[in-house]
């Protein structure tokens, strides 16, 4: 994510500011939901808002290197999802795929970080570089399945206990396209990481050491 | 559990199980080749790979892992529990793949990671399989996918089978699998 700062010349302060702005909007959506008594809006404002604090918590509590760009990346992914929930998913057919490519890329990034960290810190585990790229793809698809199961379970719960599902599945087409977009996001990140690692091996090693 | 010394009997059993996988494939060929047939031959090939690549008859996989693949293959082909069996089969093949990877590449996995690897791979196969069938339904007029409910229950089942079998096998057999591979391939053969 140093790409944003070093290559595009966007100062970290602007990146942080943009992320902060999105958090404010998410909070606004949640508050609006509480005021209007729309539980769905509360859930879709609060949960993503909590996720946006994750990079900060990981940096503070676990000392993991999380810079402004990374926070912005995660925040953008959940922010676009929430905008989708309050209308854009229904308004544009392609919007769902956009958010899934983005969230797929976030999950792929986390998958890469986790497998890399595992290999660096554990003697029992060892992966060649190529294996990690393949595993990122597997990780993202599996995460997508977990996500759909979560959506499905809210639907089943709604059927059993009555009420309305807060994360709806719109059909088989939706499921298949979600998986495909997640996978596309994973491939994009795998190619990017590979490119960066072969071009700037020193920079990445530095970032890992920080 | 697998004993520390692997007898000739165990090696023979392992080969018989590979033969059973080939047999399921051959039965499939007689009634027109399909995905199951291909998968049967593929799993037999992966199970025999250590022996074929090292030219060492004794380099068989643990019979428990190959046995799981046979149970799943037979269940898929001949019983009504074909969906669960399919994913059990995917799990079995992933386990075989873990052993092959550890034997022939620099990949090394802890029991915890290989359990996670087996579970996530099974889930990922479920996702890919769903996308492929949907694409076929959408563009070639087939009707593999019934609706949201059957698809989702299938994915729930795949996840459950992957997690349960992954954890049970890795914690029960990982060391035995590791030892077996190390010993039989011999220091020099193992790359």
**Reported confidence tier of residue B52, pLDDT bands at 50, 70, 90:** confident
- Contact state of A179 with B127 under an 8 Å Cβ cutoff: yes
Query: For position B106, what pLDDT does the model report?
Result: 82
Q: Give the Cα separation of A1 and B152 in Å (integer).
A: 36
* pLDDT at residue B151 is higher than 70: yes
Tell me how close the Cα of B161 comes to any Cα of chain A, in angstroms: 13
Give which of B152, B158, B166 to mutate to test A binding, by max A Cβ within 10 Å.
Answer: B152
Residue A87 DSSP code = I
Q: Cα B59–A130–B64 angle (5° rounding)?
A: 30
* pLDDT at residue B183 is higher than 90: no
Question: pLDDT tens digit string along A15-54?
Answer: 888 888 888 888 888 888 888 877 777 877 888 788 788 7
Host H or E run for residue A30? helix A12-36
The residue among B39, B121, B116 whose CA lies nearest residue B75 is B39
**Reported confidence tier of residue B182, pLDDT bands at 50, 70, 90:** low
The residue among B122, B131, B128, B129 whose CA lies nearest residue B159 is B122
CA-nearest residue to B123 within chain A is: A142
Q: Considering only the beta carbons, identify the residue of B123, B145, B151 that sits closest to A141.
A: B123
B158: contact with A, CB 8 A cutoff: yes
């Amino acid at each position: 994510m140093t790409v944003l700062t070093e290559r595009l010349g966007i100062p970290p302060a602007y990146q942080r500011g943009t992320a902060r702005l999105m958090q404010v909007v998410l909070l606004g959506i949640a508050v609006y939901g509480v005021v209007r008594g729309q539980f769905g809006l509360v859930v879709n404002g609060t949960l993503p808002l909590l996720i946006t604090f994750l990079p900060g918590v990981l940096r503070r509590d676990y000392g993991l290197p999380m810079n402004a760009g990374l926070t912005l990346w995660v925040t953008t992914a959940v922010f676009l999802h929430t905008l989708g929930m309050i209308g854009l998913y229904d308004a544009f057919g392609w919007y769902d795929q956009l958010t899934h490519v983005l969230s797929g890329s976030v999950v792929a990034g986390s998958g890469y970080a986790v497998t890399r960290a595992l290999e660096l810190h554990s003697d029992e585990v060892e992966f060649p570089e190529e294996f990690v790229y393949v595993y990122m793809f597997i990780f993202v698809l599996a995460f997508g399945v977990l996500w759909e199961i979560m959506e499905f379970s809210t639907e089943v719960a709604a059927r059993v206990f009555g009420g309305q599902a807060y994360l709806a599945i719109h059909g088989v087409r939706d499921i298949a396209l979600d998986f495909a977009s997640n996978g596309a996001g994973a491939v994009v990140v795998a190619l990017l990481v590979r490119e960066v690692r072969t071009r700037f091996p020193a920079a990445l090693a530095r970032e890992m050491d920080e | 559990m697998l004993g520390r010394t692997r007898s000739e009997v165990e090696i023979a059993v392992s080969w018989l199980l590979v033969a059973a996988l080939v047999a399921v494939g051959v039965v499939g060929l007689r009634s027109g080749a399909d995905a199951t047939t291909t998968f049967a031959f593929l799993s037999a090939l992966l199970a025999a790979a250590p022996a074929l690549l090292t030219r060492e008859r004794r380099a068989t996989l643990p019979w428990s892992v190959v046995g799981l693949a046979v149970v799943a293959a037979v269940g898929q082909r001949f019983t009504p529990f074909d969906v669960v069996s399919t994913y059990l089969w995917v799990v079995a093949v992933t386990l075989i793949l873990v052993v092959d990877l550890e034997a022939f590449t620099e990949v090394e996995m802890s029991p915890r990671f290989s359990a996670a690897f087996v579970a996530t791979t099974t889930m990922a196969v479920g996702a890919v399989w769903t996308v492929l069938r949907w694409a076929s339904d959408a563009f070639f007029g087939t009707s593999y996918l019934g609706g949201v409910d059957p698809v989702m229950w299938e994915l729930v089942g795949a996840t459950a089978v992957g997690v349960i079998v992954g954890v049970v096998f890795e914690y029960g057999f990982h060391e035995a699998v590791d030892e077996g591979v190390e010993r039989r391939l011999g220091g020099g053969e193992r790359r």
